[in-house]
């Protein structure tokens, strides 16, 4: 494909995406076809002769789009949002076009330096503690996901807890990780990969009212492990748990970690974005105790997947834990100590130029635009919660400080599961579920920049109508 062919096909693809976004609202949010529908519509073997891009676009419309769950749909309320935006897509396109590798500063200096500045910009936007900035002892890096951030934090924590021995010798003792029973599954996965095993993770009791980790239970677990000769390595606290957006009490947790010298990682994958708004920064109180912190701009900050923003307070510990220097990567810039080599801050060697999409997003929206987006999600969730509160058939299952509302019918689990199936079955909305205190609970999460009051109102109307049908004997 020469540059002129690319220009023509590229214009057609951008038009295709703009049309997709413009017509999204009129599509069913989720596909209805049975498993195998998409695969069976595709040829079993690749084409022998090349085909024009137009032929691929036609099959996109005919085969792929009907088989999609439309995550950018204004009535997609499932899981947590994973929203992209025009500026994010354009930044990503430039990154793909440049195709540079940013593993070392020297392999593409601007790739590293733009990322360092974007992470400092984000730290400024969220008002993170000064030690996370690259101008202090720490610094930020873009990971693919919050899961990778937790893994990298776990490795750095093992480096610290083993006094540096883990790097050469591997796991030689029983190291322990601690997180609330509502901590994300990626914490257990990181513990397995790092060699602690699932049994190395201590699930800490949460308050039944707030679903937040109980500091007294954390202290008791740490002391029991110490008494048994085990080594507490890392505590993962969550700002905005996946189930209900509970906020663990960082000031108390941080003081315990400081007392015992345990690495504190704070996982704010979804709710971290809220800190762009000063009125929501209460959720980050106590963050000055954290050794590392991450949030996903790819969830609620209009930056397309994948983009996790991860900071450490002491970049030296992270780099010592992860650096391996083969001869073919040796270079004068690295040896001068004056540059950042992000390969030492992550698991893979190679890395994309992901800072570009952040740069495009931050410049297009500005701090005010991002705040307006977060505030709109919070207000729409509050509007939905008000409807629920006004209807005696429903109850809220948890507080809704951000843009997630957890609720249920005052009825048994089966009835609530049937309620979810019925509203999702209309194809007009998509909600998901969780369990709160053992009980089946529906979740409505707002995040698309296209979501307006009418979409949330329609979700409510569908729920109220289905509730009427289900509760009528």
Ligand X SMILES: *Cc1c(COP(=O)(O)O)cnc(C)c1O
* Residue 238 is a binding residue for ligand X (CB under 6 A): yes
Nearer residue to ligand X within complex by CB, 381 or 467 = 381
Q: Which of 76, 77, 132, 270 is close enough to bind ligand X by CB under 6 A? A: 270
Q: Which of 120, 188, 308, 341 is close enough to bind ligand X by CB under 6 A? A: 308
Neighbours of 226 (CB within 10 A): 13
* Residue 182 is a binding residue for ligand X (CB under 6 A): no
d(CA 177, CA 154): 8
What is the smallest separation between the CB atom of 256 and ligand X, expressed in angstroms? 20
d(CA 27, CA 431): 16
Contact 243, 211 (CB under 8 A): yes
* Two tokens, residue 119: 């992470």
Burial class of residue 185 in the structure, from the number of CB atoms within 10 Å of its CB (0-12 exposed, 13-18 middle, 19+ buried): exposed
* Residue 107 is a binding residue for ligand X (CB under 6 A): no
Neighbours of 66 (CB within 10 A): 15
Q: Which of 145, 162, 244, 451 is close enough to bind ligand X by CB under 6 A? A: 145
CA nearest 145: which of 5, 13, 310?
310
* Residue 451 is a binding residue for ligand X (CB under 6 A): no
What is the smallest separation between the CB atom of 145 and ligand X, expressed in angstroms? 3
* Residue 378 is a binding residue for ligand X (CB under 6 A): no
Contact 197, 237 (CB under 8 A): no
Phi-psi region of 314 (alpha: psi -120 to 50; beta: other; left: phi over 0): beta
Q: Segment near ligand X (CB under 6 A), from 194-202, 265-273, 321-329, 444-452? A: 265-273
* Residue 248 is a binding residue for ligand X (CB under 6 A): no
Nearer residue to ligand X within complex by CB, 107 or 241 = 241
* Residue 188 is a binding residue for ligand X (CB under 6 A): no
Concatenated DSSP letters for 44-105? SS--SS---HHHHHHHIIIIIGGG---TTSTTB-SSS-----HHHHHHHHHHHHH----SSG
Concatenated DSSP letters for 179-210? EETTS-HHHHHHHHHHTS-GGGEEEEPB-TTT
Site string for ligand X, 271-300 (x = CB under 6 A): -------------------------x----
Nearer residue to ligand X within complex by CB, 280 or 467 = 280
d(CA 233, CA 291): 12
Q: Which of 188, 248, 267, 344 is close enough to bind ligand X by CB under 6 A? A: 267
* Residue 245 is a binding residue for ligand X (CB under 6 A): no
Q: Segment near ligand X (CB under 6 A), from 27-35, 141-149, 367-375, 459-467? A: 141-149
Q: Segment near ligand X (CB under 6 A), from 10-18, 21-29, 145-153, 354-362? A: 145-153
* Residue 243 is a binding residue for ligand X (CB under 6 A): no
Nearer residue to ligand X within complex by CB, 78 or 166 = 78
* Two tokens, residue 45: 């073997």
Q: How many residues sit in the footprint of ligand X (CB under 6 A)?
A: 14
* Two tokens, residue 284: 């980050």
Burial class of residue 327 in the structure, from the number of CB atoms within 10 Å of its CB (0-12 exposed, 13-18 middle, 19+ buried): exposed
Site string for ligand X, 391-430 (x = CB under 6 A): ----------------------------------------
Nearer residue to ligand X within complex by CB, 80 or 360 = 80
**Contact positions toward ligand X, by CB under 6 A?**
80, 145-147, 184, 186, 238, 241-242, 267, 269-270, 296, 308
């Amino acid at each position: 494909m020469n540059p002129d062919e690319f220009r023509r096909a590229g214009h057609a693809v951008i038009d295709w995406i703009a049309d997709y976004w413009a017509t999204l609202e009129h599509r069913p949010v989720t596909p209805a076809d049975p498993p195998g529908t998409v695969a069976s519509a595709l040829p079993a073997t690749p084409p022998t002769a090349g085909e024009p891009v137009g032929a691929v676009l036609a099959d996109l419309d005919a085969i792929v789009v009907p088989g999609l769950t439309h995550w950018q749909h204004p009535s997609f309320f499932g899981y947590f949002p994973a929203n992209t935006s025009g500026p994010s897509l354009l930044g990503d396109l430039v990154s793909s076009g440049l195709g540079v590798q940013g593993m070392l500063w020297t392999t593409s200096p601007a790739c590293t330096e733009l990322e360092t500045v974007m992470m400092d910009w984000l730290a400024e936007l969220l008002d993170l503690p000064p030690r996370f900035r690259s101008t202090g002892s720490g610094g930020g890096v873009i990971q693919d996901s919050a899961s990778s951030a937790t893994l990298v934090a776990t490795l750095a924590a093992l480096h610290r807890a083993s006094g540096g021995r883990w790097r050469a010798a591997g796991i030689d003792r029983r190291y322990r990780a601690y997180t609330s029973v509502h901590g994300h599954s990626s914490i257990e996965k990181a513990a397995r990969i790092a060699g602690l095993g699932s049994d190395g993770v201590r699930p800490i009791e949460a308050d039944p009212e707030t679903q937040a980790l109980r500091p007294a239970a954390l202290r008791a677990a740490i002391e029991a492990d110490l008494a048994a000769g085990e080594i507490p390595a890392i505590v993962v606290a969550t700002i905005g748990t996946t189930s209900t957006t509970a906020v663990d009490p960082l000031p108390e947790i941080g003081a315990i970690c400081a007392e015992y010298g345990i690495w504190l990682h704070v996982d704010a994958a979804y709710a971290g974005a809220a800190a762009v708004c000063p009125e929501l920064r209460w959720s980050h109180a106590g963050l000055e105790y954290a050794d590392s912190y991450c949030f996903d701009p790819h969830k609620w900050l209009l930056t397309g997947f994948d983009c996790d923003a991860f900071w450490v307070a002491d970049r030296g510990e992270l780099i010592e834990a992860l650096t391996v220097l083969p001869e073919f990567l040796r270079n004068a810039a690295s040896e001068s100590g004056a540059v950042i080599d992000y390969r030492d801050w992550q698991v893979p060697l190679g890395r994309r130029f992901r800072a570009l999409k952040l740069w495009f997003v931050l410049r297009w929206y500005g701090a005010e635009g991002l705040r307006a987006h977060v505030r709109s999600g919070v207000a729409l969730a509050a509007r939905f919660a008000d409807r629920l509160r006004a209807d005696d058939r429903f109850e809220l299952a948890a507080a809704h400080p951000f843009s997630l509302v957890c609720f249920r019918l005052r009825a048994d689990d089966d009835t609530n599961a049937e309620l979810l199936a019925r509203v999702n079955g209309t194809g007009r909305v998509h909600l998901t579920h969780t369990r709160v205190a053992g009980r089946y609970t529906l979740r409505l999460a707002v995040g698309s920049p296209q979501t307006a009051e009418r979409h949330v109102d329609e979700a409510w109307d569908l729920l109220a109508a289905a509730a009427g049908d289900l509760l009528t004997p």
